């Protein structure tokens, strides 16, 4: 880049800013230099990096039409039909890492979703922003049938308020978790254009961090149009792997033990006027059955402060805090994608005084390995598909090998 161009640009900006009391300093010059370099970069290395960034990027817009499911009788007042809009930016994988090949080259992306929620005076509008992964189920050169899973953050403009919006019993907070599930059929129109249609379910919930929390469920049908920014990369298998059971090639077998401690809270101000903390500990023993999944058994210990209040209101006596702890056993399944995995548990309580939720519980966790042995997780605990609380935890994995 010509140094004279940079000096001329500085002179122009400085002369313009001399009309104001603010002067350019060393930091602003450095920032301007960075901007100029980004705009004017023309060397081969920069061009290669730019091509790598835009490689396989896809821009897409979708229109949805759906309705709100009144899954509780009290929610009939909220039922309405609505239109939803979605904009996504995604990247089609092509085998740069091994997990991409194992899952048949899925598409990963970010989505921005918006709906007026049927212009409901009690709900307002809904906005969601979530990363997603789109797994191909059946495909050929021109068409693809896929399943998309997205999990992120959602915003409801008019949550429940005890005085001003008491008829919205679906959701008690502005900020919520947003989950999007979709079956989608897409058709390629040449090298760059893609049209699609699908059936989706969008869910808003705060995991009982603030009640009420019946949740918002919106099934919809969609039509979309996408544009690929560059020609598609050819699929490849750069990470070759033997078609064998994991570690079978060196004569070893292994299982691992996952230990984790997590904390969450339940905002039950609508019922009891207070927030309550929850603590959970779990130990999962997993056996790897394929390169993509593990199965196992788990043991849980959970302590929920709100259980004490429920017992007192029901006049059920308890002698000490240990009787509030609820141990449980469960079966577990883990779907693995490199450092990230999804863990599902279905369990039964072995004890605990508080029984109003029943003896069966479910857990869904998103786990990410910071290192080979240390991981973080976000876990949603539920009873009969009704969210109880969300816990944030950190854990440690112990690998046990045998021959």
Rounded Cα distance, 303 and 262, in Å: 11
Residue 50 DSSP one-character state: H
Rounded Cα distance, 389 and 148, in Å: 25
CA distances in angstroms from 154 to 209, 215, 305, listed in the order given? 14, 12, 27
Q: Find out whether 278 and 262 touch, Cβ atoms under 8 Å.
A: no
Rounded Cα distance, 111 and 48, in Å: 27
Q: Locate tokens 């429940």: which residue?
A: 160
- Token pair of 317 as six digits: 């006596």
pLDDT at 316 over 80: yes
Rounded Cα distance, 344 and 281, in Å: 15
Mean pLDDT lowest among 48-62, 118-132, 188-202, 348-362: 48-62
pTM: 0.75
pLDDT of residue 39: 44
What pLDDT band is residue 101 in, cutting at 50, 70 and 90?
Answer: confident
* 3-class SS string, 129-156: EEEEEEEEEEECCCEEEEEEEEEEEEEE
Rounded Cα distance, 283 and 257, in Å: 7
Domains of the chain listed by start with CATH number: 3-40 (no CATH), 54-228 (2.40.160.20), 248-402 (2.40.160.20)
């Amino acid at each position: 880049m010509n140094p004279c161009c940079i000096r001329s640009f500085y002179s122009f900006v400085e002369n313009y800013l001399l009309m104001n009391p603010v002067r350019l300093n060393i930091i602003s010059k450095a920032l301007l230099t960075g901007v100029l370099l980004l705009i004017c970069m023309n060397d081969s290395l920069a061009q290669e990096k730019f091509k790598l960034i835009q490689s396989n990027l896809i821009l897409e817009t979708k229109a949805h039409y759906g309705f709100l499911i009144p899954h509780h009788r009290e929610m009939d007042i909220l039922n309405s039909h609505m239109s939803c809009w979605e904009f996504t930016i995604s990247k089609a994988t092509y085998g740069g890492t091994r997990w991409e090949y194992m899952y048949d080259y899925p598409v990963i992306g970010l989505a921005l979703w918006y709906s007026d929620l049927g212009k409901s005076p009690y709900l307002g509008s809904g906005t969601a922003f979530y990363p997603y992964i789109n797994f191909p189920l059946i495909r050929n050169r021109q068409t693809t049938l896929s399943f998309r899973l997205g999990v992120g953050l959602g915003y409801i403009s008019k949550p429940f308020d005890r005085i001003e919006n008491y008829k919205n019993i679906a959701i008690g907070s502005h900020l919520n978790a947003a989950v999007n599930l979709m079956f989608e059929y897409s058709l390629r129109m040449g090298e760059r254009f893609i049209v699609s249609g699908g059936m989706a379910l969008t869910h808003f919930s705060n995991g009982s961090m603030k009640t009420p929390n019946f949740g918002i469920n919106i099934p919809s049908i969609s039509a979309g149009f996408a544009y690929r920014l560059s020609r598609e990369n050819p699929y490849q298998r750069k990470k070759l792997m033997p078609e064998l059971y994991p570690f079978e090639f060196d004569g070893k077998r292994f299982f691992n033990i996952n230990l984790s401690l997590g904390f969450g809270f339940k905002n039950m101000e609508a019922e009891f006027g207070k927030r309550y903390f929850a603590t959970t500990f779990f130990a999962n023993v997993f056996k790897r059955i394929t390169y993509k999944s593990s199965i196992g058994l788990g043991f849980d210990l959970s302590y929920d402060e709100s259980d004490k209040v429920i017992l007192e209101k029901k006049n059920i006596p308890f002698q000490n805090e240990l009787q509030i702890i609820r141990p449980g056993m469960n079966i577990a399944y883990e779907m693995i994608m490199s450092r990230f995995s999804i863990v599902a548990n279905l369990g039964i309580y072995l004890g605990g005084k508080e029984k109003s939720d029943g003896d069966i519980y479910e857990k869904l966790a998103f786990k990410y390995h910071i290192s080979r042995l240390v991981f973080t997780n976000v876990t949603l605990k539920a009873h009969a598909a009704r969210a109880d609380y969300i816990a944030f935890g950190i854990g440690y994995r112990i690998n046990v090998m045998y021959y």
